[in-house]
Amino acid sequence: MKNMLSASSNITYVKRRGVEFVQFPIFKKFEDVLVHCFTTRRGGVSVGECESLNLSFNRNDSRENVMENFKRIASALDIDYRNMVLSSQVHGCRVLAVTKDDRGKGLVRSSDIFGYDGLVTDQSEVALVTFYADCVPLFFFDSKRKAIGLSHSGWRGTVKNIAAETIRVMKEAYGTDPQDIYAAIGPSIGCCCFEVGQEVHDEFINAFSWSRDYCKKDVKGKYFIDLQGIIKKSMIDEGIPEDRICISGVCTKCNNHIFFSHRGDKGRTGSLAAIMQIR
C-alpha cells in the first residue's frame, strides 16, 4: 500500500491476498498468540460509496458484497470468518464478555448481542469485531492472562470512558491487571478535523477537567478535540503503563483515500472494522 498519510503514525501497512489493512507494532512480539488488524477501504468487492472493503450490513451495500468482504479479510488474517462475533454499537459504554458459544453471531447466525460497544474474551478462536468510520478503535491485550478486548469509542463513548469500562470488565471477567495490558488506539478522526460545538466541548470538560489540555479553540472560536489523546490519558489513569500504549496519530478524515470517514465522505460511506483474536 502507498503510505500517503498526512500525519506520522505508529502503524504498519500490510497487503495480503489483495486485502489492505493496518497493524500495530506494539503487538508484533505476540503474533504467535494474537491476530489483529484495523481494515482500510481497499481490497473488497463493494461499489459506489462503499467501495470497496465495506464491512457493515447497515450501509448502502448488498449482503452478498459484505459477506464476501468478511471472507476476504478473514482469509488475509488466516482465521475462520465463522468464528467472528460482531458488536452492535450504540455509542454507549457497555462491554460484553463473549465465548466460543457466541461465534458467528451477527454474521452467519442471528445475534442476541444488542447495545454493546465493546467485546472481550479469553478464549481462543473467537474473533472480536467492532466497526468504525471516524470513531476511535481501542485494542487491549492482557499479555499475562491472554485475554483481549476491542472497544468502539466515539465522542460519546469517550466521554463515558469506555476505555476504563473495558478494563473494568476484563478485571472482573479474567482477573486482568492493567499493568499487564498492551493497548493500541487506532486511526480515527483527529484533532485536526474533529470540530465540535460548545455543548460537546462542555461535556468533555465536565467529564474530565483535565481534558482542557486536549480541547483547542481556533481564532474563529471553533473547538477541536483530540479524542486519541484523551483516551490515552484515560488508559494511563486506569493503570496501563504509558510505554505499553500505541497511539496511531492517524486521522481518517485527512486520509479518507485509505479509510472510510463519515465526515470526509459526508455521511455516504462504508465501515471499517477492528478485528482481534487469540490463536
**Dist. CA 47–CA 25, nearest whole Å:** 31
Q: What is the pTM of this model?
A: 0.97
Average pLDDT over every residue of 90-113: 98
Residue 203 inside a domain? The answer is no
Query: What confidence tier does 1 reach under pLDDT thresholds 50, 70, 90?
Result: very low
Residue 214 inside a domain? The answer is no
Give the CATH number, domain containing residue 169: 3.60.140.10
Model confidence pLDDT, tens digit, residues 230-250: 999 999 999 999 999 999 999
Residue 260 inside a domain? The answer is yes
Residue 207 inside a domain? The answer is no
Residue 136 inside a domain? The answer is yes
Residue 204 inside a domain? The answer is no
**Dist. CA 99–CA 102, nearest whole Å:** 6
Query: What confidence tier does 2 reach under pLDDT thresholds 50, 70, 90?
Result: very low
Long-range contacts of residues 167-174, Cβ cutoff 8 Å, at least 24 apart: 167/140, 167/235, 167/238, 167/239, 167/240, 168/95, 169/95, 169/96, 169/97, 169/118, 169/120, 170/120, 170/140, 170/142, 173/97, 173/120, 173/122, 173/147, 174/120, 174/122, 174/142, 174/145, 174/147
Model confidence pLDDT, tens digit, residues 116-143: 999 999 999 999 999 999 999 999 999 9
Model confidence pLDDT, tens digit, residues 56-87: 999 999 999 999 999 999 999 999 999 999 99
Residue 124 inside a domain? The answer is yes
Task: Give the range of the structural domain holding residue 85, as residue numbers without chain letter.
Answer: 12-188+227-278
Residue 180 inside a domain? The answer is yes
Overall number of domains in the chain: 1
Residue 63 CB contacts under 8 Å (≥ 6 apart), including other chains: 57
**CA end-to-end span of the chain:** 26
What was the pLDDT predicted at 219? 84
Of 279, 262, 277, residue with least CA distance to 56: 262
Which grid coordinates are listed for 273?
472494522
Average pLDDT over every residue of 16-30: 97
Question: What count of Cα atoms within 13 Å lies in the side-chain half-sphere of residue 5?
Answer: 20
